[in-house]
Amino acid sequence: MNITTDIIKTILLVIVIIAAAAVGLIKGDFFSTDQKTSQTKEYDETIAFPSDRYPETAKHIKDAINEGHSEVCTIDRDGAEERREQSLKDVPSKKGYDRDEWPMAMCKEGGEGASVEYISPADNRGAGSWVGHQLTDYPDGTKVLFTIQ
The answer to the question of residue 14 being in a domain is yes
Per the structure, the count of domains in the chain is: 2
Q: What is the pTM of this model?
A: 0.72
- Whether residue 111 is found in the same domain as residue 54: yes
Domain match, 61 and 91 both: yes
Q: Which domain range does residue 27 map to?
A: 1-32
pLDDT of residue 11: 87
Does a structural domain hold residue 37? no
Q: What pLDDT score was predicted for residue 37?
A: 45
**130 within domain boundaries:** yes
* pLDDT of amino acid 34: 46
- Given this model, what pLDDT does residue 141 score? 98
Residues of the chain with pLDDT under 50: 30, 32-38
| Residues 144, 79 share a domain | yes
Is residue 28 one of the residues assigned to a domain? yes
H/E stretch holding 26 reads helix 2-27
As beta bridge partners, residue 146 has 47
Confidence at residue 135, expressed as pLDDT on a 0 to 100 scale: 97
